[in-house]
Structure 1
Amino acid sequence: MPRLDVREIPPVNRHDKIHEAFDGMDPGETLTIVNDHEPKPLYYEMAAEIPEFDEEAYEVRQNAPDEFVAEFPKSED
């Protein structure tokens, strides 16, 4: 499954990189994002704009104060 650590990417460029990675995935795959904050704005953006984003299967966990790991699944249909 694709994994993208965006903590070293300038914030202004993060969403573009994430969208590129998500677009390149096959249906049924999940993109794992490692971020320095909970990616709620990204979740809402993808839920509103990306029909293939399976928002019901989205998960996020906080592993450290500056480490959030979010799973962005791509629906199979």
Structure 2
Amino acid sequence: MCSCGNVSETVIDVRQIAPRMRHPIVFGTFDMLQPGEAFQLVSDHDPRPLHYQFGEHLGGAFAWDYVEQGPQVWRVRISRTAA
């Protein structure tokens, strides 16, 4: 968990997860969010392909905000914006 202001957010560090399990875990975590809730994704590369997948599957129901942009660590805050 990460303490971000007054809100605790789940942090998923995909560097510690087998590659074939990463996207299912990320999408499963997103599916559990209520509108306005978020989690942070930590990766060793820009997760841009995942961002494209979110756009294809969820349209405007999410927000994608870079917190840290490499070169060694990428951190993205992913939030649900609509039901």
Bucket of the pairwise TM-score, normalised by the shorter protein: 0.7 to 0.9
SS of the residue corresponding to residue 7 of structure 1 reads helix
Instruction: Name the one with the larger strand percent.
Output: 2
Deviation readout 1:16-53 (Å, 9 max, x if unpaired)? 01011111111111121001111100000001102463
Unmatched 5+ stretches in structure 1: none
TM-score (norm 2): 0.76
Larger RCO (CA under 8 A, 6+ residues apart): 1
Cα pair 1:53 1:72 within 8 Å, conserved: no
Residue 79 (structure 2) aligns with: 73
Residue 38 (structure 1) aligns with: 46
Runs of 4+ in 1 over 3 A off after TM superposition: none
Segment drifting more, 64-73 vs 16-25 = 64-73
> RMSD across aligned C-alpha pairs, in angstroms?
1.7
Count of aligned pairs between the two proteins: 74
* Higher Cα radius of gyration: 2
Aligned-pair identity in percent equals: 30
